[in-house]
């Protein structure tokens, strides 16, 4: 599977500030995704990060709040803008990785960024 890293691993931020989270993959991948996992809950897809075009956002998530960049096939960033305590969550990136051997593709996740907003 792909090796996925995220920076920072955790942060504590003040209300009203912004934080940019980085996701790096060790191989080129077409599909990258950003998820949010609120405390004690499951994962919710924020957006699909498309290389060379704007991200595609899910219902309830907007570009002004969660701007995403995808400058190449191994890297993406998610910014959480104008943060409030309700943004305290784990933010996870995932990549879709294709296995030529059995012609399957599935999503693998990074370790997550644990954000606390005071």
Partner 1 sequence: GESVGLHLPTLSVQEGDNSIINCAYSNSASDYFIWYKQESGKGPQFIIDIRSNMDKRQGQRVTVLLNKTVKHLSLQIAATQPGDSAVYFCAETRKAAGNKLTFGGGTRVLVKP
Q: Please tell me whether residue 39 binds partner 1 under the rule CB under 8 A.
A: yes
Gap between the Cα atoms of 110 and 60, Å rounded: 23
Q: What angle do CA 110, 22, 74 make, to 5 degrees?
A: 75
Q: Please tell me whether residue 37 binds partner 1 under the rule CB under 8 A.
A: yes
Gap between the Cα atoms of 81 and 68, Å rounded: 11
Q: Which of residues 86-115 bind partner 1 (CB under 8 A)?
A: 90, 92, 94, 96, 104-112, 114
Residue with tokens 């897809």: 45
CB of 4 to partner 1, least distance (A): 8
Q: Which of 22, 24, 48, 81 binds partner 1 (CB under 8 A)?
A: 48
Q: Which of 21, 33, 74, 77 binds partner 1 (CB under 8 A)?
A: 33
């Amino acid at each position: 599977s792909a090796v996925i890293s995220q920076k920072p691993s955790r942060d504590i931020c003040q209300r009203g500030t912004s934080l940019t989270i980085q996701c790096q993959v060790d191989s080129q991948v077409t599909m990258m995704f950003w998820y949010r996992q609120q405390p004690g809950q499951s994962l919710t897809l924020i957006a699909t990060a498309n290389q060379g075009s704007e991200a595609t956002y899910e219902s309830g998530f907007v570009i002004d709040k969660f701007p995403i960049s995808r400058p190449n096939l191994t890297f993406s960033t998610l910014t959480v803008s104008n943060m409030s305590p309700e943004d305290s969550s784990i933010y996870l990136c995932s990549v879709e990785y294709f296995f030529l051997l059995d012609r399957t593709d599935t999503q693998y996740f990074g370790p997550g960024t644990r954000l606390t907003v005071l």
